[in-house]
Structure 1
């Protein structure tokens, strides 16, 4: 079964290929980790680069765990102990030195690759506990988390590097963030693409910019490029987005 967005139909195997490419980008950066570097602030308020890397490690293992158990016909929480254990794991993981942190992230990427490689074409609809979804749901979660948090780590990879298919998927996934009471239209300046959100009869706010910049804004990240926001032809500030879905 394919992963469908408004512009692309991407088979899960193709999603997995893009994840492997993202993991390769992260792997290439791990040998360059330094003690000073991992203590620097990340793009996420209150988190160091080490916190972000520990989170990538944790979510990679959590989604791999969903895959391993789903193939055995079992449902299991992404994290033993739920969100408190997740938070504690990130905090503890962030205290490791650069070498240990790099090894742990590399090991998590190895496990993620192995777990998802074991999923066959007939397995994608197997249920998982994560969001009461299926293996496609968990695979897409790992894609989003890997790519977004690689940007958050501030290691030279930015939203401008996101694959276009990921941008389209993210815009679908983040539709619930569109503000209430507005008809929000995102117009990409680098492709014939317009994304409407919200009721047609509401006041229209149009935001224009490159696809990756629009996606970064919807994801709560710095667009990196100016966005043009207009209402009734007049320039207005970007609207406040709702919570992450």
Structure 2
């Protein structure tokens, strides 16, 4: 299937992506299965957000992703969020205080709807354009996969970045490469032989476990050390890639918070 768009280097084929998303959904549902109201009201790993904020955000993003793909199948484009970033933020604040049972119900409905939608996509549907990053339905589905996997670690309920698969790590690395400062390059090297080369310009080598290197690139706290070969701190990273193309109003993508 020939699919073109802004995120070609980060692409995962639908045959691999659909089961990966189902697996992420299963882990998400298992992680919140025993949560109490106090558990969901407790702080997440994201500064200023409770677990309820994270779950409310995932529900809102699931609705946005589903809408992007459903409109694409009709040959239409729609904004990622009705009302843009202010409406997205207001929905998260309104949904965060829900009970554990309400969060579980909302997440279950959202993930079931996405699973059913993706299972019904045809070969042509995956390449239909969406407004998200001026990309395709495949780009939107991959964004949802990223968000679920990353926010699972933010919930701090068991799943951690150390559980990330090689497939996810390579996808995240390709997608997040634009966070590097302009005119710089990094080589990420892990003891297991995993190597990724990012950017152009003067090169520095960053060493650590594969999942720790990717957690750092995703703005999450690595479980172990991430060390540059020159002894200096790792470079400061730019913002999370925005979901809208430059000509449209931009909203930071959610996994960057």
What TM-score, normalized to structure 2?
0.87
Given the alignment, which residue of 139, 149, 152 partners 2:151? 149
State the distance in 1 between where 2:2 and 2:148 align. 20
| Residue 224 (structure 2) aligns with | 225
State the distance in 2 between where 1:9 and 1:127 align. 15
| Residue 118 (structure 2) aligns with | 116
CA contact (8 A) 2:188 2:207 kept: yes
Report the Cα offset of residue 122 of structure 1: 2.3
State the distance in 1 between where 2:232 and 2:68 align. 44
State the distance in 2 between where 1:219 and 1:56 align. 17
Kindly report which structure 2 residues correspond to 1:159-238, keeping only aligned pairs within 5 A, or say none. 159-199=161-201, 202=202, 204-231=203-230, 235-238=231-234
CA contact (8 A) 2:55 2:107 kept: yes
State the distance in 1 between where 2:154 and 2:125 align. 32
Paired residues, number: 238
CA contact (8 A) 1:61 1:108 kept: yes
State the distance in 2 between where 1:14 and 1:117 align. 12
State the distance in 2 between where 1:181 and 1:108 align. 41
Distance 1:193 1:5, change over 3 A: farther
CA offset digits 1:185-227 (Å, max 9, x no partner)? 211222342323231xx2x321111211111000000111112
What TM-score, normalized to structure 1?
0.91
Q: Which aligned segments of 4 or more residues in structure 1 are displaced greater than 6 angstroms?
A: 2-6
Q: Which runs of 5+ in 2 are unaligned?
A: 242-257
| Residue 248 (structure 2) aligns with | none
Q: Does 1:242 align with 2:244?
A: no
Q: Does 1:134 align with 2:136?
A: yes
Q: Which runs of 5+ in 1 are unaligned?
A: none
CA contact (8 A) 2:60 2:91 kept: yes
| Residue 244 (structure 2) aligns with | none
Query: Secondary structure of 1:119's match?
Result: coil
CA contact (8 A) 1:2 1:12 kept: no
Report the Cα offset of residue 242 of structure 1: 1.2
Which has the larger share of strand? 1
State the distance in 2 between where 1:239 and 1:21 align. 33
CA contact (8 A) 1:64 1:116 kept: no
State the distance in 2 between where 1:196 and 1:99 align. 43
Query: Secondary structure of 2:229's match?
Result: strand
Report the Cα offset of residue 110 of structure 1: 1.1
CA contact (8 A) 2:32 2:157 kept: no
State the distance in 2 between where 1:9 and 1:50 align. 30
State the distance in 2 between where 1:159 and 1:89 align. 27
Report the Cα offset of residue 107 of structure 1: 0.9
Distance 1:180 1:9, change over 3 A: closer
CA contact (8 A) 1:34 1:98 kept: yes
Query: Secondary structure of 1:186's match?
Result: strand
RMSD of the alignment, in Å?
A: 1.9
Query: Secondary structure of 2:122's match?
Result: coil
